Structure 1
Amino acid sequence: MLQILGSAHRFCDGLSRRNFLQIGAFGTGLTLTGALRADAAAKKADESARPSRQFKSAIFVYLPGGPSHMDMYDLKPDAPAEFRGEFKPIATNVPGVQICEHMPLQAKMFDKLAVVRSLVSADEHSDSLVMTGYPERVNRTAEHPSFGAVVSKMRGDTAGAIPPYVSLRGMSRGTEPGFLGVAHRPFTPSGPGNANLKLANGVTADRLSDRRTLLESFDDARRDVDATGTMAGLDAYTDRALEMVTSGAVRTALNIEKEDKNVRDKYKSVENFLTARRLIEAGVGFVTLSYGGWDTHGQNFTSLKKQLPNLDRGIANLVSDLHERGMQDDVVLVVWGEFGRTPKINSGAGRDHWSPAMSALVAGGGLKMGQAVGATTAKGERPKDQAYTVPQLMSTLYRAIGIDPSITFPNGAGRPMYVLDDREPVKELV
């Protein structure tokens, strides 16, 4: 049995965000078979809900810990010193829009970006809200699926050997599929999980074929007495799991050595942004990654001076690459964390948790770029106009890739549940 370990994030609450997925099916080093099989019956029942066309794709960049809106996209240069902080705003190439001086690359290309400055969040250290549209306190029992799990459900078998949902940051509560079932967990290549991109030691393609034949022979008896046709569906998911191992498409996408050295140099220290682009090009429907640690209760400005330039480079290079490849309308990108930070700086030169206001950066997906949506009060304390919720922005992202957020799926009790309850889009973006 192989374990895929998720990345660990520790915040001020002392809780670890590490989770793991145990895998191992007939010696291939890949547990997707078991996961894919688990949801076969539900998939068969929901076949009619899937559209016939392939969806566009999405990339979620998660900034764990809660990035400071006041020091990134919503600076307040006219506020008192204890609010405005150390950083200066700079003009972007969009008239009237300014962002932090430590993000000059985004400033030069802001006509290809948009920021929503008037988001309202929830006060909890969890990626649940920005990945599912529901806070963790709700999802402990309701188990709403993550954005990527919905993409996986809707894409179904059309992805073939390409997993529809990849997490480059391991497993967490927010990335889980909830009531959609374990078949829609993300493929997670982090840590030792890289082993599931290749055949296990000593297992050749011929040996794998022999094991598959043996497995099918064990299934014959059950198939003979199966009157529901479920076994045929299970076989299809076994085939897909095997294809992911033997095709090598994902392994190739994850190997950034395939990129020109000049490209790799551009992404130095933010390689996951490049990996995300390569996975999307390979046909993955949804990729999530994370960068840095943003729980800056102390020394906020010292920390951000180190992190913002790298984040700036990762975002700018990724968006530029998507445009150069003509993919800007086919891929939607969002960059956000759990909440904003307190407008008033604390005694430790830090900012604390602040859910009444946060910012999110958006790019692509055919949405309207080159703008700042909404505004906060003079000290950045709360929205003064155009307040939006996290689910409303998520609804906008679903629509951008062709998924109706009002679609329903049955939960564990068989009750139909909307993908999102708060479904009004951010009207300025559509």
Structure 2
Amino acid sequence: MLNFWGSRQPHCDNINRRNFLALGAFGAGLTLADQLRAASPSNPTRSLATPKSAIMVYLPGGPSHIDMYDLKPDAPAEFRGEFKPINTNVPGIQISEHMPMQAKMFDKLAVIRSVVATDEHSDSYVTTGFPEQINKTVGHPSFGAVMSKVNGNNGDVPAFVSLRGMSMGTEPGFLGVAHRPFTPDGSGRENLRAKLANDKMADRQSLLTRFDSARRDVDASGTMKGLDSFTQRAFDMIASGTVRKALDLKKEDPRTLDRYKGVDQFLTARRLIEAGVGCVTLSYGGWDTHTSNFKELKKQLPILDRGLANMIRDLDDRGMLEDTVVIVWGEFGRTPKINSSDAGRDHWSPVMSALVAGGGLKMGQAIGASSARGEYPKDRPYKVPHVLSTLYKAVGIDPSMTFPSGSGRPMYVLDDRDVVTELL
């Protein structure tokens, strides 16, 4: 079995979202080869048209809307906080002073300032459109899993890649484990060679070095001849295929690597989309800022700003942004009023912001508004499923599509399928 372990994401609810993905037994007797079979052209739900791609940047813990994209400079000090707004290159739109790179390219971005979330520390609501209480019993699929089901794999390229591990919010739900994401990171990846060549590894080298060694050993032993076409394709996907090359950042220009220093996940996401991956999800930072909100954001916002701006600019320069929709959000916002414990902001579900780019959507705008103190939507309130419905339409998927649940009952991709009309 090849196990890929995800990273830990501690939050204030003391849940460590450490996640597991097995390529081999795959948790249910499903190999990666079986995963490829399930997504092969014989799959009747696969789209025949060239599909668009998506990148979902998840900010775990709940990023502060009022300190990022929806500042309130005229509010009382206990609401507006320490940060000042700066002008973007779109007249009338301002964002945080700690995101200057996005400000200079806001004509390629759009922010929704009136998104209504749900009051739960859950990674799944913004990826499935259903709260965790429902997902515990029904198991609705994540956005990437639906893309995998509808569009299937592209040659040796998986439809869905998670750079945040096999975590809550990436699960395929009732679509089945065939549509779990491929996760290229983890401490269990050294088992690849042991599984295919029956040869234990004596040391832990880099991921790419292990794949090189595994492929040479398997080819020399003739094992590849005994594998069926799907299994060989599965191995190629990991050991020598397009995805492996996309994961090798050393192939990038040193100047590009310098631009992405410390935020290489954003570069990896861009390279995976270039390689033909349908959906990539990643996360950055920890945004559960009950204490030291401004101290933490001063460190994190400039780094996030650089990762996002470089990725979106690169997609645009390569002519890929029109066909790649990008969404950046967390599970809720933060309390507009600063708490008294240690200059922190707590959970706040009545309103949050979401950043969108690309996908052929209408950019250069701020959609909706929150109240004068950032407490609730003042106009154009949109729910999380409305944003997801818009994203599905951007990638050519009908959110009214149905799939059978575990009990065989047809289930809609989304129950609430209204859209953010300003984006379309």
**Residue 128 of structure 2 corresponds to residue 149 of structure 1:** no
Q: Within 2, Cα distance between the matches of 1:85 and 1:8?
A: 30
Q: Is 1:126 matched with 2:122? A: yes
What is the aligned counterpart of 1:271 among 264, 268, 271? 264
1:2–1:90 CA distance, 2 compared to 1 (3 A): same
CA distance in 1, matches of 2:138, 2:101: 41
Q: Tell me the residue number matched to 2:168.
A: 173
Matched-pair contact (CA < 8 Å) for 1:33–1:241: no
For 2:97, the aligned partner's letter is E
Match of 1:37 among 26, 34, 39: 34
1:28-427 to 2 correspondence within 5 Å? 34-37=31-34, 47-157=43-153, 159-192=154-187, 195=190, 198=211, 201=214, 204-206=217-219, 209-210=222-223, 213=226, 237-347=230-340, 348-427=342-421
| Structure 1 match to 2:19 | 19
Shift of 1:424: 1.1
How far apart are residue 247 of structure 1 and its match? 3.6
Report the CA distance between 1:246 and its aligned residue.
4.5
| 1:298/1:351 contact within 8 Å kept | yes
Query: What SS does structure 1 have at the residue aligned with 2:403?
Result: strand
Instruction: Compute the displacement of 1:123 (Å).
Output: 1.3
Question: Which amino acid letter does the alignment assign opposite residue 400 of structure 2?
Answer: S
Find the aligned partners of 1:57 and 1:9 in 2 and give their Cα distance.
Answer: 26
Deviation at residue 173 of structure 1 after TM alignment = 1.9
**Residues 237 and 421 of structure 1, relative CA distance in 2, 3 Å threshold:** farther
Instruction: Give a deviation string over 1:312-343, Cα, whole Å, max 9, x none.
Output: 10111011101100111110001100100001
Matched residues in 2 for 1:254 and 1:118: separation? 36
Per the alignment, do residues 236 and 118 of structure 1 end up closer, same or farther by CA in structure 2, a change over 3 Å counting?
A: farther
- Residue 268 of structure 1 and its aligned partner are, at CA, apart by 0.7
Cα distance change, pair 20–424 in 1 and its aligned pair in 2 (3 A): same
Aligned counterparts of 2:166 and 2:361: Cα–Cα separation in 1? 29
Distance in 2 between the 1:390 and 1:267 partners? 30
Residues 162 and 249, structure 1, Cα contact 8 Å, conserved in 2: yes
CA distance in 1, matches of 2:217, 2:30: 18
Q: Shift of residue 240 of structure 1?
A: 3.4
- Maintained 8 Å contact 1:89/1:99: yes
Query: What TM-score do you get using the length of structure 2 for normalisation?
Result: 0.90
Query: Displacement of 1:236 after TM fit?
Result: 5.9
The CA deviation string for residues 73-92 of structure 1, in whole angstroms up to 9 with x for no partner, is 00001111100000000111
- Over the aligned positions, Cα root-mean-square deviation in angstroms equals 2.3
User: Cα–Cα, structure 1 residues 208 and 112, in superposed 2: closer, same or farther, change >3 Å?
Assistant: farther
Superposed CA offset, 1:179-220 (max 9, x none):
11111111111222554572664862435753652x6xxxxx
Q: Is the 8 A contact 1:35 1:182 kept in 2?
A: no
Q: 1:236 to 1:405 in 2, by over 3 A?
A: farther
CA pair 39-24 structure 1, distance change in 2 beyond 3 A: closer
Summarize the Cα distance change of 1:44–1:309 in structure 2 as closer, same or farther, 3 Å threshold: closer
Q: Cα–Cα, structure 1 residues 44 and 3, in superposed 2: closer, same or farther, change >3 Å?
A: closer
Per-residue CA deviation, residues 18-48 of structure 1 (Å, 9 max, x unaligned), is 01123337xxx9x9961552695x7689833
Which runs of 5 or more residues in structure 1 are unaligned? Answer: 216-234
Letter in 1 for 2:3: Q
- Alpha-carbon distance in 1 for matches of 2:221, 2:89: 55
CA distance in 2, matches of 1:404, 1:289: 24
Q: Deviations over 1:233-280 (max 9, x none)?
A: xx6643431331354311110111110111010011111000000000
Query: Secondary structure, in 3 states, of the residue corresponding to 1:332?
Result: strand
Distance 2:166 2:398 in 1: 26
Name the CA shift for 1:245/1:172 in 2 (closer, same or farther; >3 Å). Answer: closer
User: Taking structure 1 as the reference length, what is the TM-score of the superposition?
Assistant: 0.89
| Alignment partners' CA distance in 1, 2:101 and 2:111 | 15
- Asked if 2 retains the 8 angstrom alpha-carbon contact of 1:63 and 1:294, the reply is yes
Write the deviation string for residues 155-180 of structure 1: whole angstroms up to 9, x where unpaired: 224x1211111000111121011111
Change (3 A) 1:38 1:48: closer
Aligned 8 A contact 1:36 1:184 in 2: no
| Partner amino acid, structure 2, of 1:37 | D
Does the 8 A contact of 2:24 with 2:32 survive in 1? no
Give the whole-Å Cα distance in 1 for the aligned partners of 2:385 and 2:359: 17
Determine the C-alpha separation between the residues in 2 that align with 1:324 and 1:141. Answer: 44
Q: Deviation at 1:288? A: 0.5
How many residues are matched?
Answer: 405
The corresponding residue for 1:223 is none
Q: Distance in 1 between matches of 2:42 and 2:420?
A: 29
* 1:270-298 deviation digits (Å, cap 9, x = unpaired): 11000000000000000001100000000
Map Cα deviations across residues 120-158 of structure 1 (whole Å, 9 max, x no partner): 00111121011111111111111111111111111224x
Amino acid at match of 1:102: H
